[in-house]
Amino acid sequence: MSEEFLLLNPGPVPLSDRVRRAMDEPMVSHRSAAFEATYERAQDGLEYVFTRSTLDERATGEGTALVLNGTATMGMEMAVANLADGDSEVVALVNGKFGRRFERIADRHARVTPVEVEWGESFDLDAVADAITDGTAVVTMVHNETSTGLLNPVAEVGALARERDALFVVDGVTSIGGDEFRIDDWGVDVAITDAQKALAAPPGVSAVFVTERAAARADGESAPFYEDMEWHLRKAKQHQTPFTSAVPLFRALAEAVEEIEAEGMPARIDRHRRQARAFRAGFDALGLEPFPNAAGPTERSNTVTATALPEGVRGDDAAAFFDAVRERNVSLSGGQAHLGGEIFRVSNMGGLTPEQVLRGVRTVGEALND
Ligand code: PLP
């Protein structure tokens, strides 16, 4: 009998039974007191995750968590489109697919100066400092670059943005809920995360954390109608969304963040770091090389492990490896865009057990030898 299906893609990630069951309850109106209670639970749990993701659970920021009917790409656009307009300058840091996505979004709404290095390389902080000027309205950056499995130096860039009084918008999609994230210490003004990543909720909704400083500069008039931040902030005070809420997904998210609070962020961060180390050590023991060998202010991710495919399993030959993994009832991801056929990626976001981590390593080892 084949083993149970194991989802190791960097999102969506496996759900707990409690989170799954939450989606199976009778429907209510999104304007009912019952729904408002759900929104409030989700919001309280998210505010815990956004502001207490430190090893000592100390508070590192104040603001409002919004839940959006849409994945994090919508949250990224909400942030940029409300804080910049056609006359504003946005500096976008790009060293992977999601940094590029932020640049493309910003390009639709503002004037963009990209600071770009090869996917997987570290940023040159001097080049970042030169790009941010007194005229910069917003700096965008991805904390954990899912496409390359690297953690970018958010604190250093946040300090540079603050020196020039630019707002700092950070995509924490694959770090928030799994790794450290420090709003005030790192000078973050808006942070974005997705439900289906380290929060371990189903896909379809996302969360945006807005500090007072960012809220004061938001201009909903310049944003797409559905993403008017001021409107969302006003409705969030009533524990509602401006438009019809994805009720079952909000319920599941509320359960997921309560599970995180019960585990506690310090224990959760520690567990994610141990599991990422286990994946790295396992792949290393199989003779595989990490992708890339992080250097400079960039570190390897604690939630997504990217590994180079070995000689003979690259390019067109990679398909047989991924088939052999699938035959073992395990799902993992290849590389994105030009990294397709070059790397594979596994996630330890959410609530993986040690046995599941070991099975991931074993499956890769077996598939390489098939
Ligand atoms: N940013 C990062 C770093 C991601 O990993 C993802 C999803 O993989 C996203 C943003 C948002 O993607 P989506 O809107 O498709 O959920």
Nearest to 345 by CA among 299, 295, 290, 297: 290
Helix (H, G, I), strand (E, B) or coil at 110: coil
C-alpha–C-alpha distance, residues 52 and 55, integer Å:
9
The dihedral over CA atoms of 19, 9, 149, 93, expressed in degrees to the nearest 10, equals -80
pLDDT, average across residues 324-335? 97
Residue 292: the pLDDT is: 80
Helix axes 354-368 and 318-327, enclosed angle (nearest 10): 130
pLDDT of residue 64 exceeding 60 = yes
Q: Is 307 in the pocket of ligand 1 (CB under 6 A)?
A: no
Is 80 exceeded by the pLDDT of residue 295? no
pLDDT at 89 over 90: yes
* Rounded percentage of the chain residues whose pLDDT exceeds 70: 99
pLDDT tens, 335-353? 999 999 999 999 999 999 9
Across the range 216-227, mean pLDDT stands at: 95
Q: Give the CA distances from residue 267 to residues 182, 261, 273, 347, in Å, rounded to whole numbers and listed in that order.
A: 16, 10, 10, 18
Question: What's the 193 CA to ligand 1 centre distance in angstroms?
Answer: 8
Average pLDDT score, the chain: 96
User: 68, 98, 192, 305: which to mutate for ligand 1, most atoms within 8 A of CB?
Assistant: 98
Burial class (CB in 10 A: 0-12, 13-18, 19+), 328: middle
* Interface TM-score (ipTM) > 0.95: yes
Q: Is the model's pLDDT at 2 over the cut of 90?
A: no
**pLDDT on residue 98:** 98
What is the whole-number distance in angstroms between the Cα of residue 97 and the centre of ligand 1? Answer: 9
Spatial separation of the C-alpha atoms in residues 90 and 153, rounded to whole Å:
18
Please identify, by atom number, the ligand 1 atom nearest to the C-alpha of residue 72: 14
Model confidence at 234: pLDDT above 80: yes
Q: Which residues contact residue 326 at a Cβ distance below 8 angstroms, ignoring those fewer than 6 apart? A: none
Q: Is the CB of 174 under 6 A from ligand 1?
A: yes
* pTM reported for the whole predicted model: 0.97
The one-letter amino acid at 321: F
